[in-house]
A = this chain, B = another copy of it.
């Protein structure tokens, strides 16, 4: 493909992308292909001689489009959003053009230096404490994902505690033996609402992991008393707690841990690394009305949020800030002779490879730079506030139908979490949920339904769970809107978050209608099916209404 062919191909691609975005609302949000759909559409092997662009491009519509789930679609209300934007696209384009694995400064100084500058910009913009700026001992680095950021800081935390606790040994052999003895006692912590990537990170880092229950009465935020109890339990079990994830905006309900309380507790645990996972909700910090949340972050060691979720920067752009960058580099730095150069040796430059797991890295700061400049801070604030308002609207619509819906937790950061109400009274349901939450830390839905010993109140919860699951599955099968579910404190719940760049009030109102219609339909069917249900379950399951 020469320059002229590229120009022509790129123009055609840009038209197709514009057309894709313009026609998004008319497409079905979730792909409806069956597993294995794609293989039969393609030959068994790549061609021997090259093909011209038009033949390749034609396959985007024929092969790829049917298998896309449209994350920018206004009816995408599942998971958390993954906002894209035109300026972000241009950033990717230039990044690809300037391809470099950029593992050290000299590989392309602009890659390193722009990253430092834009992350300082972001640090200021979201109101993080100055300790996370590059001018002191801290700094920011772009990671591929919040989960990658978590493994990275866990490894740094692990090496920090092992080094600190073995400082007193003078010879290497004794120090290594002491580290081995300690290594297997290391335990990482997170609330049962923290994202699963903490647990996965603990596996990768080869350390233990313990969950701390966050309670519904605390809006699923982790509190100091529970943290302190677990820390003490670890100690009495002979373990060394070395790492804790606290969360600003949990996946299930956008809960916020009690940062100020936690900051108090950890003063007694100087070897505990505290990482703030703000993967989604961190974007809201661009609005001053949320920045009070960062007040105690200077007591913590690291903070990460994904601009690729809610801040118009296409995937990937996870912004990790660290209070003491030497904690990262002393854990992850290895410099063989072929990576040495006078700039790196001088200490005047940053080699971001020592701030991350992989060696090579892309020029990801370009897209962040373009997005920040194209929207400006006020544009980003308007983007966030628009979605918050849509979330409030959705919540208020839910409240108009207390006969059908329960709102499970305080709506937060545009996310509303609901359950479907069976005929049983809400009070009984609440009791059942608390009972369930207390007795099981994180039951999967199926296990829960199978194992739960049915008493009068729990019975109601089982009904609500089955009912909520049925409504949820029917809505997603039909595919007009795309939602996700979760099991939260024993309750099967539906999460609704409308925060794509194309989100609008009319789509939120329509989602509400769909929920109402589908719930009524399922309830009606449930009534019709009471006899069948009775036969299957010994008469214990009634969809009611």
Chain A: residues with CB nearer than 8 A to chain B?
Answer: 1, 3, 5-7, 9-11, 13-15, 17-18, 20-22, 30-31, 33, 35-39, 42, 45-51, 53, 55-56, 60, 63-69, 71-72, 79, 82-90, 92-101, 105-111, 113-114, 116-118, 121, 124-125, 144-148, 151, 155, 158-159, 180-181, 183-184, 195-197, 199-200, 203-207, 251-252, 308, 314-316, 331-332, 334-340, 342-343, 346, 348-349, 357-360, 362, 366, 369-370, 372-379, 442, 444-445, 473, 484-487, 495
> A36: which B residues are within 8 A, CB to CB?
113, 348
Residue of B nearest to A360 (CB): B145
> A68: which B residues are within 8 A, CB to CB?
98, 100, 108-110
Contact B92 A95 (CB under 8 A): yes
Q: Please measure, in the bound complex, the distance between the C-alpha atom of A407 and the C-alpha atom of B82, giving whole angstroms.
A: 52
Q: Tell me the minimal C-beta distance from A287 to chain B in angstroms.
A: 13
> Which residue of B49, B314, B369, B495 is within 8 Å of A378 (Cβ)?
B49
> A92: which B residues are within 8 A, CB to CB?
92-93, 95-96
Contact A109 B373 (CB under 8 A): no
Q: Please measure, in the bound complex, the distance between the C-alpha atom of A207 and the C-alpha atom of B37, giving whole angstroms.
A: 42
Q: Tell me the minimal C-beta distance from A116 to chain B in angstroms.
A: 8
How many monomers of this chain does the complex have?
A: 2
> A15: which B residues are within 8 A, CB to CB?
7
> A375: which B residues are within 8 A, CB to CB?
50
The answer to whether residues A88 and B96 also contact, given A35-B105, A337-B487 and a CB cut-off of 8 A, is yes
Q: Could you list 22 A-B pairs, sorted by A, with CB under 8 Å?
A: A6-B86, A13-B94, A14-B93, A31-B106, A35-B343, A37-B113, A39-B113, A46-B376, A46-B377, A50-B373, A50-B375, A55-B373, A67-B110, A82-B100, A82-B360, A84-B96, A151-B204, A183-B206, A195-B336, A337-B445, A338-B485, A340-B445
Q: Please measure, in the bound complex, the distance between the C-alpha atom of A251 and the C-alpha atom of B360, giving whole angstroms.
A: 14
Residue of B nearest to A109 (CB): B67
> A100: which B residues are within 8 A, CB to CB?
68-69, 71, 82, 315
Among A7, A83, A90, A147, chain B packs the most CB atoms within 10 A around the CB of A90
> Which residue of B18, B106, B357 is within 8 Å of A6 (Cβ)?
B18
> A51: which B residues are within 8 A, CB to CB?
373-374, 376
Contact A90 B13 (CB under 8 A): yes
Contact B338 A251 (CB under 8 A): yes
> A125: which B residues are within 8 A, CB to CB?
45-46
> A487: which B residues are within 8 A, CB to CB?
337
The answer to whether residues A147 and B360 also contact, given A17-B94, A50-B376, A110-B31 and a CB cut-off of 8 A, is yes
